[in-house]
Structure 1
Amino acid sequence: MASSTPSRSEEQFLCSICLEVFSEPVSTPCGHNFCKRCISQTWDSSESCFCPLCKEVFSIRPQLKKNTFISEMVSQWKLEEEHRETQQMVKVFSDMESVQRCLDHHTKVMEQSLSKHKERAQALIQQLQQEMCELEKSSTEAQQLSLSTDPLHFLQRCPALPPAGLKDWSSVSFEPQTYEGSAARALSELEAKLEEEFKQLPSTLELRRVQQFAVDVTLDPDTAYPYLVLSKDLKQVHDTDVEKKLPDSPQRFTHYAIVLGKQSFSSGRFYFDVQVKGKTDWTLGVARESVNRKGQITVSPKNGFWTIWLRDGDKYRALAGPSVPLSPQRPPQKVGVFVDYGAGLVSFYDVDSADLLYSFTNCSFREKLFPYFSPCLNDEGRNSAPLIISAVETK
């Protein structure tokens, strides 16, 4: 089996019997380590005491001693896992604070705007009151003039009525900005953002967990369909309309645009990322070593394939025999593939959203498994983008 690339990955701290993180790790005389409970149960159920890894038989049941070094390493590793989860929680609450700052800013802008409208309204009211006073004064003078018996005096005063400089209020409009419902909308936006953050948190943590089992996968040219082109670093593959003259080895697929990974896995857990951006058709997953590589192939778990595909740009299915329609929230640009050999599990993730796309469960693995890639046909250039095995970004 290929080894995991991270030096401190969970793979190093798994008991080879239960495939879980060590609990009370103990060492056998041959130097291998197991959970105390697991090795004790193994020996209790067997007529002889032997190492489950190297099969060395012990004539006398050894006295198991706690492996202090591994125990401390496991404790440290658990703290680092917990640290990453804490960082994720901190990010969520940081986002909450960011939303609160936006809400505070919205409130401040609203208050400043209301203050400006209030000042303008008060100025208009003051001006209107002043003109009303002038009009009342003019009205009083007009009443007095109407009682005058001196025509000359009346004619001299009439041009001054009404008072000069009055504002044409017909052109004045005052429609203060309304904020009805603004607070409710802001709170609704805050609630939606927080709900989305908390909804995404479990899936994000789950993806980060399986990404700790990332392995370095490359393509195997000896298995590649003759129309496929592989990059020099064996990380990219796309289909062409030109058939290459290649030896028809037993490993090569001859009728379908398929290539397998060079690395094989027969235990433990492994994970890899594949970029599918720009493609209208693709198939990804894993295949067992003995799958049919010549002639007609039906891709299903029964025939040794655990895969999902995209067809026609928007039709996603898990090829579970019969196939299962999938409905991702958005078209995945990068797909993560995770396998737990011992648990019989194959899971697919949308790497960008951390959403689980599909899981094959209760699989029966008895052979080596190989990563499976099909960029599908070129389709006259519409599906010419390559599948790219990309480096796993663990945050």
Structure 2
Amino acid sequence: MSAASCLLTEDQFLCSICLDVFTDPVTIPCGHNFCKGCISEHWDVDVQCQCPICKEDFDRRPELRVNTFISEMAAQFRQSAQQKASSSSSEQQVVKPGEVPCDACTGTRLKALKSCLVCLESYCETHLEPHLTRAGLKKHQLIDPEENLEGRMCVKHDKQLELFCKTDQVCVCMLCTVLDHKTHDVVPLKEGYEGKKAELGKTEAEIQLMIQKRRLKIQEMNRSVELSKEGADREIADGVQVFTSLKESAERSQAKLINTIKEKQRETEEQAEGFIKELEQEISELRKRSSEVEQLSRSEDQLHLLQSFTSLKAAPPTKNWTEVRVRPPSYEGTVRRAVTQLEETLSKQMKKRLEVKLKRVQRYEVEVTLDPDTAHPALILSDDGKQV
């Protein structure tokens, strides 16, 4: 029996109503086979007893009896298919968190490869095969696996969402177009998809342009920081040089000021020493004369006094010291002149530094290309694109 079943194809064990392997297969008078439940339900809905395949009509509803031969063949085929699915399941991926599981798997659920928009189910490789081989299932629309397939159905009419209402910007089913969206601008889902995709492409291009502009702005700011650091380093170096020169100049001016004051003090001291020496000399001469005069004045000999008086030395020449003064030197303006000279030195240093800076700016003329939307407002570009 198993050898015979290997020669039979899967389609021979499928009910043409449910498109699945027979369950309690029955044979009706025209010779076609169906699941007992499927054909009974079909005839319960359709008052006229007719074969769904060949359309042969029956005067009365045939008595249905299970075809044991086909039932056994279908059971063996089902068992073989399950064994095949079981052996292949080990080679297929078991579903992981975040992945879409196969809705047809029992027990260990495998990862779905496709989802069917008609069946609203997702299938692994094994259970997807009927959609790839059976004529009736090949027409179904397959998409990449999605978990929420119910979201593709109209909640109001339980129909597939296959149209797009441009007026309300929502996806709708066929019934929606004749009811709620009758006068609206409705297009096929594909047309709406392509339109929105074009809008997304335009939006993405605009976002990329904005990103590019901001990257340019970041580069501009980084360059500004670099230039600022270079400028700061130059200013520090120039400042240290200026203040070093200023300090040296101040020290020289201080030394000169001290020397000037000390020189004036020394001249004053020398002048005073000269006057004092003269005065001490005159005092010595006057003391000698005073001694002679005092000695002569003590004499009681009248003749000797008269004779000696005429022989007294003439009074030594003396200086009129009434107007002679040792005046302290005036230091007024000495510090001010020193500070003024220091200011002149600083001014010369600053002028020299400015000239060096101007030469440096002229030497570093650079060519730049900047986005006008991101360029710093203080930057002025010439017509040839060069910034000076």
Larger radius of gyration: 2
Give the strand-richer structure, 1 or 2: 1
TM over 0.5: no
Give the helix-richer structure, 1 or 2: 2
Higher relative contact order by CA 8 Å / sep ≥ 6: 1 or 2? 1
The normalised TM-score by structure 2 is 0.34
